Amino acid sequence: MNVKRIVVTGGPGTGKTSLINLLEKSGFYCFHEIVRSMTLDAKKKREKKSYLSNPLVFVDNPELFNDQLLYGRLAHYAKASELNEETVFFDRGLPDVLAYMDYFEQSYGQKYIDVCEENRYDTVFLFPPWEEIYVRDNERMESFKEAIQIHNALETAYTSLGYKIHEVPFGTVNERLKFVLNHLGEISE
């Protein structure tokens, strides 16, 4: 089966995970974000620090952390082919790794770009920064200003890889669900 791979991305605190959860409740197969659990695990191994926007301060080897993130998302991408599903959603995609590395001014080798170019998604939905719903927590360490900068890095990463980005308008999670599904032709008006 030729599965459609759909990415839901955006800066922190934009409502992506709420949409992913609703898509899942609506019967769609969804791959959840993996960086939150990776950051929590890394923080447990370090002494308690103040909130910082960079989860890499909690890891001993940032390159290994980014490799694990890239290949964890690549494993999700590959697993989608094994599923008996027409459409699969991803809470963040492979290019997000590049965007965050750019944002944190980390250099990366060609392997990162190659993985992103060789494993393409069918559609990318980008959630814009939304100050009214933005909340910091134990894993979301960025200020709203930093969230805007991450949004810009994500937009640049995806467009530089040749993706057409579909920006999801503000609204309730149900309105956003309807926008995404209408765009994909999953429901009719």
Q: What is the pLDDT of residues 79-106, one digit of tens each?
A: 999 999 999 999 999 999 999 999 989 9
Read off the amino acid at residue 56: L
Length of the chain: 189
Is residue 161's pLDDT more than 90? yes
Question: How far is Cα 121 from Cα 123, in angstroms, rounded to an integer?
Answer: 6
- 78's tokens: 């590959």
Question: How far is Cα 30 from Cα 61, in angstroms, rounded to an integer?
Answer: 29
For residues 8-19, average pLDDT: 92
What are the helix (H) ranges across the chain?
16-25, 35-44, 62-80, 94-103, 110-118, 144-160, 173-184
What is the CATH code of the structural domain delimited by 4-184? 3.40.50.300
Is residue 25's pLDDT more than 50? yes
Q: What is the pLDDT of residues 121-140, one digit of tens each?
A: 999 999 999 888 777 665 56
- Three-state DSSP at 38 gives helix
22 pLDDT band (50/70/90 cuts)?
A: very high
Segment among 119-123, 141-145, 177-181 with least mean pLDDT: 141-145
Q: What is the pLDDT of residues 26-77, one digit of tens each?
A: 999 999 988 755 554 444 555 444 444 445 455 567 788 889 999 999 999 9
Q: Look up tokens 């308008």; give the residue.
A: 169
The values of phi and psi at residue 126, to 5°, are: -110, 125
Q: Where are the domains of the chain?
A: 4-184
In 3D, which of 186, 189, 188 has the Cα closest to residue 89? 186
